[in-house]
């Protein structure tokens, strides 16, 4: 396939274009005027957006998803920052073991993770509650949020902290004045990355919802199984838009090449 | 740029008691089985510009970090201003530090960098402004206070780092090879500026470098270090003319080395068998070495102590050897000669103004030196030789 | 921060939150195992026996493993041209990464839903083919293994691109040029330089995608329907409809066992393969 550079390049371009194709189809379909999904749409309208807005279930699921994503992102970022800071500064030998534990959920097939989380959340009687979902999301996002923070802390010049110390700063003061501001992009990356993952998580979350609480992706999933109304396309478009915005902000904050940097962790 | 404006200096110089003495007693540092420093003793008087000089790995940076408090000694004590520093973290020591990479805070402006330490000390805003202004003027950056660090040149960054440390009026300023990243021209400018500021403020400066010329130029006193030990602690002229051992002699300045063997010791005269026969040298040339008959030794001669005479010249009172001029190189005010004498290669340096009387390359000559200028050393041990890239 | 400061015990409290979370995770794994090896009456291997003996379950297992293997191989193969493209086009890399990352981060429900719209009997592809007159009857593109494989591959390709590109970027970028200058053909360069050096990334992708695929629930349910089930579909049914957490846990433990074995197997193959290429 790569014998001929032209062929490989064209294959690359075609495949690259195909990646967002299903998403673009949905966005197109969301503006359709017909009640069943067809493409290309016949006539443009915003009626499905209006339907989504006036069906209270959708704004509610949206608000819940945003809320859970925000709480999860903030907590997991703080937790990882504390851990990464402590191990790097005070217990580097512990770091290897800690990282092994933090990354271990990555090797769990999602379905098994879902069942494990059901078992855990049920133990606390939190099935069908926001705290239950947040708890599961914290564990799911833990490895993803750790890496950007770890990298930010590791690339911080240790002499900056020493300089602050010599000038009279206590460890806490240097943390507040130097370390945290200098790790800002890593912290923001962690917040956004964990936020996106939580906002879009479905495989684990769908086991944890209840009559009073459902997230946007889980609700889309339960509607997809029943009927393929274009309201779903409108909702999906909104969800895509949120993710897209987050990726653009990530790009501004840290640069997307962060995702393809090869540096341990 | 004039490095130190006089009015600024007058304001910056604190009314000072004799702050700034350092006492190091029996300090050792080991990491596991690796010994980095073994039992150092050092007393630095207040107000001295002292340089820690040595090849990389000699322990000079470790000593600096021990004084700063980033690391704790395995044994021994360090006192600053007569106060024992044991267990005190860097933030509680009366020190300032300029780091090799400067470690300026990139998210602060120039002013904020200089003000940071004062803010930590809750200095009132008005006084803080005045002090920051004074010290920025002192280093000649008064007009750049609102710049971001990334907008400064290398030399300007250097000056910010200096102002940031000095504004806190530390007893001691530690400088960890801060000039090593700069080009030669700028480096020379800053060497002068640094020395001038130190003299005016009277702060004790502890400066780390591996550049002997820099050390000689700036220091009141030099600590020559090698293999985790202090080899010599003295003024630059003393270190050059009275080196404690062969390592110091070779590290500070150029040295011709002629291998020999002690033949005998009679009163104040040492008889040495050199490659060309036996010579009698005065015992005053012995450098930290008690000669034992048959022990190997090294005769050291500074290049400027070698005179080059015509082959038939009279040279009473001096030791002379027949030789050949291999090369004659003009280096501005001096002429540099590469000479051969038997198997031995020697370097001699003469004033260019005497050049007319001196032989050209290829000419035969007489190599002469005063026996009193010959220094007698014990040969280097293997690890020390390795730091000059030599095989023992 | 290379120099470690002597830590006061109070600072170790910084580790507490992460240890609590990890503790909860490991507790959940423990709970999963104790659920799997039990039924309503106590300790039992009943569900494992069922899973291993029932022929319809064996079909589900075979489908999950074979489809996932196909998905993993297909994803890695198809992501190579994309990764190479992004690797070579340094100037456009960041922009093109958006095209890879946005689909990766968009909820997989939405992406699967997109394929439902594309592949359905009245979907876009069948619609277009019928409109151009190529077919008269709609093709069966979903509610079968094909649909699941297409959907999962598309969902998981971005990860393979990212993983392979990471490996490629770790290669000194002028290595390829140097090899070209030395007279190696483009194919030789690929075979001798690019391929061996990108193998670690490709293998990571293979493993991660295989694990993600065998544990998938949403995509198999939407695109495979109840006639073509994955282990994930079974687990979904057990949890959501029959409320049999013990059986769901038994299924999950089987998935974990497959993951673990395939991880060992792939690591062994990777080591051998990298050995022969060098």
> Given a contact as 3+ CB pairs under 8 Å, which chains touch C?
A, B
pLDDT value for A227: 73
Q: What is the pLDDT of residue B62?
A: 92
Which of B258, B193, B207, B237 has the alpha carbon at shortest distance from B63? Answer: B207
Q: Which of the four pLDDT bands, split at 50, 70 and 90, describes residue A37?
A: low
Phi and psi at B231, nearest 5°, equal -85, -35
Whether A225 shows a pLDDT value over 90: the answer reads no
Nearest-CA neighbor of A151 among A7, A24, A260, A16? Answer: A260
Banded model confidence at residue C177, pLDDT cuts 50, 70, 90? low
B257 forms beta bridges with B300
Band (A134; pLDDT cuts 50, 70, 90): very high
**Tokens representing residue B349 in the block:** 């340096």
What residue of A is the nearest CA neighbor of C166? A260
Q: Which residue has the tokens 């282990």?
A: C231
Nearest CB among A162, A167, A182 relative to B116 is that of A167
Lowest mean pLDDT among A9-18, A97-106, B51-60, B354-363: B354-363
C135, pLDDT greater than 90: no
pLDDT score for B392: 40
Hey, is the C-beta of B388 within 8 angstroms of any chain A C-beta? no
Closest CA to A145 of A96, A182, A198, A87: A198
Phi then psi for B387, rounded to 5 degrees?
Answer: -75, -10
Q: Is the pLDDT of residue C1 over 50?
A: no
Confirm if A79 and C18 have CB atoms less than 8 A apart: yes
pLDDT at position B17, please?
41
Looking at residue C178, its pLDDT comes to 59
C-alpha A80/C-alpha C17 separation (Å) is 8
Q: How far apart are CA B380 and CA B300, in angstroms?
A: 12
What per-residue confidence (pLDDT) applies to C182?
Answer: 59
CA distance C202 to C168: 10
Q: What is the pLDDT of residue A252?
A: 86
Mean pLDDT of chain A: 88
List the one residue out of C112, C111, C138 whose CA is nearest residue C123: C138
Q: Which of A75-79, A242-246, B120-124, B138-142 has the highest mean pLDDT?
A: A75-79
User: What pLDDT was estimated at residue B7?
Assistant: 57
User: Closest Cα partner for C65 from C260, C252, C217, C231?
Assistant: C231
Is the pLDDT confidence value at A83 over 80? yes
B70 contact C CB<8A:
yes
Structure tokens given for B83: 């106060």
B40 strand-pairing partners: B27
Residues 6+ apart with CB under 8 A from B198: B49, B173, B205
Give the nearest chain A residue to B114 (CA atoms): A167
CA distances from A49 to A29, A46, A236, B300 (A): 11, 5, 10, 93
- pTM score, whole prediction: 0.84
Which residues on C lie below 8 Å from B70 (Cβ)?
3
The ipTM value here is 0.89
* Residue B165: closest C-alpha in chain A: A167
CA B306 and chain centroid, separation? 25
Mean pLDDT per 10-residue run, chain B (392 residues)?
Answer: 50 55 92 88 92 90 92 92 89 91 92 93 93 90 88 90 91 90 86 90 92 91 92 93 90 89 85 83 84 86 89 79 88 89 88 83 86 88 68 45
A228/C106 touch (CB, cutoff 8 Å), yes or no: no
- Residue A13 confidence (pLDDT) above 80: yes
Alpha carbon distance B24, A170 (integer Å)? 25
Whole-number Å distance between alpha carbons of B387 and B383: 7
Lowest mean pLDDT among A54-68, A174-188, B108-122, C132-146: C132-146
User: Which of C81, C98, C256 minimises the CB distance to A256?
Assistant: C98
- In the numeric block, which tokens belong to residue B13? 């110089």
In this prediction, residue B97 carries a pLDDT of 93
Query: What residue of B is the nearest CA neighbor of A180?
Result: B107
The residue with greater pLDDT, B181 or C37, is C37
pLDDT at C26: 95
**Cα dist from B36 to A92, A180, B42, B100, C134, whole Å:** 22, 33, 16, 20, 81
Which residues fall within 8 angstroms of residue B127, CB to CB, at 6 or more apart? none
Interface test with B, best of A152, A162, A163 (most B CBs within 10 A): A163
Averaged pLDDT score across all residues of chain C: 85
What values do phi and psi take at C87, rounded to 5? -70, -40
With an 8 Å Cβ cutoff, is B71 touching chain C? yes
Chain C residues 3-32 within an 8 A CB cutoff of chain B = 3, 5
Average pLDDT over residues C87-99: 85
Which of C2, C101, C218 has the CB atom closest to A203's CB atom? C218
Q: Which residues of A touch B (CB under 8 A)?
A: 157, 159-160, 162-170, 173, 177-178, 181-182
Q: Identify which has the larger pLDDT, B381 or A134.
A: A134
What distance in Å separates the CA atoms of residue A90 and residue A183, rounded to the nearest whole number? Answer: 18
| Contacts of A238-245 spanning 24+ positions with Cβ under 8 A | A238/A52, A238/A62, A239/A199, A239/A200, A239/C106, A239/C107, A239/C110, A240/A23, A240/A26, A240/A27, A240/C102, A240/C106, A240/C110, A242/A199, A243/A196, A243/A199, A243/A200, A243/C102, A243/C105, A243/C106, A243/C107, A244/C102, A244/C106
pLDDT at A73: 97
């Amino acid at each position: 396939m790569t014998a001929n550079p032209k062929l490989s390049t064209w294959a690359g371009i075609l495949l690259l274009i195909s990646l967002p194709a299903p998403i673009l189809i949905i966005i197109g379909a969301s503006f359709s005027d017909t009640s069943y999904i067809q493409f290309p749409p016949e006539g443009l309208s915003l009626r499905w957006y209006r339907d989504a807005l006036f069906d209270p279930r959708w704004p509610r699921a949206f608000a819940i998803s945003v809320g859970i994503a925000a709480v999860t992102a903030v907590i997991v970022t703080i937790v990882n920052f504390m851990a990464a800071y402590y191990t790097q500064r005070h217990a580097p030998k512990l770091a290897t073991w800690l990282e092994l534990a933090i990354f271990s959920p990555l090797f769990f097939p999602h379905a098994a993770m879902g069942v494990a989380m059901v078992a855990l959340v049920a133990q606390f009687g939190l099935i069908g509650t926001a705290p239950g979902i947040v708890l599961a999301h914290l564990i799911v996002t833990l490895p993803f949020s750790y890496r950007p923070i770890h990298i930010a802390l590791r690339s911080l010049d240790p002499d900056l902290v020493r300089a602050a110390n010599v000038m009279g700063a206590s460890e806490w003061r240097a943390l507040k004045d130097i370390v945290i501001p200098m790790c800002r992009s890593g912290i923001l990356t962690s917040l956004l990355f964990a936020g996106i993952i939580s906002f879009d998580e479905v495989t684990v979350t769908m086991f944890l919802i209840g009559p009073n609480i459902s997230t946007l992706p889980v609700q889309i999933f339960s509607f997809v199984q029943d009927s393929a109304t274009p309201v779903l396309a409108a909702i999906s478009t909104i969800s895509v838009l949120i993710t897209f915005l987050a990726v653009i902000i990530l790009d501004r904050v840290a640069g997307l090449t962060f995702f393809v940097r090869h540096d341990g962790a | 740029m004039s490095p130190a404006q006089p009015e600024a200096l007058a304001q910056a110089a604190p009314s000072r008691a004799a702050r700034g003495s350092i006492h190091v007693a029996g300090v050792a540092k080991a990491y596991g089985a690796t010994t980095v420093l073994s039992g150092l003793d050092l007393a630095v008087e207040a107000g001295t510009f002292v340089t820690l000089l040595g090849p990389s790995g000699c322990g000079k940076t470790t000593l600096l970090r021990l004084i700063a408090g980033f690391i704790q000694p395995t044994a021994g004590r360090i006192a600053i201003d007569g106060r024992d520093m044991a267990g005190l973290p860097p933030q509680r020591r009366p020190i300032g530090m300029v780091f090799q990479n400067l470690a300026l805070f990139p998210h602060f402006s120039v002013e904020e960098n200089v003000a940071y330490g004062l803010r930590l000390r809750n200095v009132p805003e008005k006084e803080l402004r005045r002090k920051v202004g004074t010290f920025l003027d002192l280093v000649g950056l008064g007009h750049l206070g609102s710049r971001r660090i990334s907008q400064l040149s290398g030399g300007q960054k250097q000056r910010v780092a200096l102002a940031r440390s000095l504004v806190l009026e530390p007893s001691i300023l530690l400088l960890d090879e801060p000039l090593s990243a700069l080009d030669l021209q700028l480096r020379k400018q800053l060497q002068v500026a640094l020395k001038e500021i130190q003299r005016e403020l009277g702060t004790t400066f502890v400066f780390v470098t591996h550049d002997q010329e820099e050390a000689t130029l700036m220091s009141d006193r030099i600590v020559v270090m090698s293999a985790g030990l202090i080899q010599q602690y003295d003024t630059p002229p003393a270190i050059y003319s009275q080196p404690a051992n062969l390592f110091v002699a070779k590290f500070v300045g150029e040295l011709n080395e002629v291998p020999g063997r002690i033949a005998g010791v009679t009163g104040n005269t040492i008889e040495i068998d050199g490659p060309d026969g036996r010579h009698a040298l005065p015992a005053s040339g012995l450098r930290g070495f008690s000669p034992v008959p048959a022990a190997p030794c090294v005769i050291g001669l500074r290049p400027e102590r070698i005179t080059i005479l015509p082959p038939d010249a009279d040279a009473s009172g001096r030791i002379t050897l027949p030789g050949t001029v291999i090369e004659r190189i003009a280096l501005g005010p001096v002429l540099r000669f590469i000479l051969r004498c038997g198997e031995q290669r020697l370097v001699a340096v003469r004033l260019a103004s005497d050049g007319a009387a001196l032989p050209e390359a290829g000419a035969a000559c007489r190599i002469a030196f005063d026996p009193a200028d010959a220094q007698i050393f014990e040969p280097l041990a293997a690890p020390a030789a390795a730091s000059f890239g030599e095989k023992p | 921060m290379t120099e470690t400061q002597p830590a006061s015990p109070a600072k170790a409290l910084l580790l507490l939150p992460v240890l609590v979370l990890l503790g909860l995770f490991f507790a959940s794994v423990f709970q999963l195992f104790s659920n799997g090896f039990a039924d309503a009456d106590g300790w039992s291997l009943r569900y494992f026996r069922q899973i291993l003996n029932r022929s319809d379950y064996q079909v589900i297992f075979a489908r999950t493993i074979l489809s996932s293997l196909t998905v993993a191989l297909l994803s890695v193969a198809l992501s190579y041209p994309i990764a190479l493209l992004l690797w070579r086009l340094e100037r456009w890399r960041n922009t093109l990464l958006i095209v890879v990352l946005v689909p990766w981060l968009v909820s997989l429900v939405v992406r699967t839903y997109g394929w439902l719209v594309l592949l359905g009997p009245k979907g876009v592809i069948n619609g277009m083919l019928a409109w151009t007159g190529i077919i008269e009857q709609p093709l069966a593109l979903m509610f079968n293994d094909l649909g699941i494989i297409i959907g999962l591959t598309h969902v998981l390709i971005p990860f393979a691109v990212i993983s392979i590109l990471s490996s490629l970027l770790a290669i000194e970028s002028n290595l390829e040029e140097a090899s070209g200058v030395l007279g190696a053909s483009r194919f030789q360069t690929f075979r001798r330089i690019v391929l061996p050096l990108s193998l670690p990334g490709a293998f990571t992708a293979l493993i991660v995608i295989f694990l993600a695929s065998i544990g998938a629930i949403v995509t198999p349910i939407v695109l495979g329907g109840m006639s073509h089930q994955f282990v994930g579909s079974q687990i979904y049914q057990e949890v959501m409809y029959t409320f049999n957490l013990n059986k769901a846990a038994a299924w999950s433990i089987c998935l974990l066992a497959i993951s673990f074995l395939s991880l060992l197997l792939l690591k062994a193959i990777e080591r051998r393969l990298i050995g022969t290429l060098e």
